[in-house]
Amino acid sequence: MKQYTYAMIKPHIMKKENREEIIEQIIEMIEEAGLAVYIEEDITFTPKLVQSHYGHTNTEAYNKRAGYNVFEELTRIWTGQTVRGFIIEGDDAEARLKALVGPTMQEDWNEGTIRFLLGESTTNNVIHCTDPKDVGMLNGETVSAGALEIHRFFPQYFEELFYFDK
C-alpha cells in the first residue's frame, strides 16, 4: 500500500560545506531501498516547532537513558536552525524508511543503516524519520506518525496526500 512519511536532515549536516553531497548520498540510499522523495524543502525551526516535534523527549526516563537532558539539548541545537525536510513515498514507507535510517540511540545503531554510516552521536545522528509504531490524534482521528509529521512540517500538502484519492 502506498504510504507517505516524513524525514529530515538535521541541522549539523546543513551547516557542513559538503551537505549537498551527504544529502545526495542519503537520497540515493532511500531510492535504492525502493522509496521516492515526493517533496524536499528547507525548514527553519522555531521554539514552537521544537516543542511540537520533540516534546516527547522531555521525560525523566528518556533523559536517564541518554545521560543528559535531551529536550534542553534539542531545543538549544534546533531553535533557529535550518533542516532539509522530505516527504517520502512508497509501499510501507514508514517501516521501510525507519529500517533504513536505524534506531535513534547510538548504542543501538546497526551496520548498513544511514545513522551507522553517517551519524556522529545520538544527538547528531544525521536524519530523523517517523517511527511506524507511533500514532496520534489529529482532528479527532487516529493517524500515523508520518501523517502527523507531514501535517506539522508540510501542512500545505497534508490534504492532498491524506484526504484526496490519488
CATH of the domain at 128: 3.30.70.141
Domain that holds residue 116: 2-45+81-162
What is the model's pLDDT at position 136? 83
What is the model's pLDDT at position 77? 82
Task: Please check whether residue 54 lies inside any domain of the structure.
Answer: no
Question: Element (H or E) spanning 128, and its range?
Answer: strand 127-129
What is the model's pLDDT at position 166? 44
Task: Please check whether residue 114 lies inside any domain of the structure.
Answer: yes
What is the model's pLDDT at position 108? 95
Q: In 3-state terms, what secondary structure has residue 140?
A: coil
Task: Please check whether residue 153 lies inside any domain of the structure.
Answer: yes
What is the model's pLDDT at position 138? 85
Q: How many structural domains compose the chain?
A: 1
Task: Please check whether residue 53 lies inside any domain of the structure.
Answer: no
User: Torsions phi, psi of 146, nearest 5?
Assistant: -60, -45
What is the model's pLDDT at position 72? 92
Question: With contact defined as beta carbons under 8 Å apart, do 74 and 57 qualify?
Answer: yes
Q: How far apart are the first and last CA of the chain?
A: 12
CA–CA separation, 43 and 84 (whole Å): 6
What is the model's pLDDT at position 153? 96
Question: Element (H or E) spanning 120, and its range?
Answer: none
Q: Which residues of the chain have pLDDT under 70?
A: 164-166
Task: Please check whether residue 66 lies inside any domain of the structure.
Answer: no
104: Cβ–Cβ under 8 A, 6 or more apart, which residues?
Answer: 122, 125
pTM of the model: 0.85
Residue with cell 522555531: 46
Task: Please check whether residue 105 lies inside any domain of the structure.
Answer: yes
Task: Please check whether residue 14 lies inside any domain of the structure.
Answer: yes
C-alpha cell at 31: 531510492
Task: Please check whether residue 74 lies inside any domain of the structure.
Answer: no
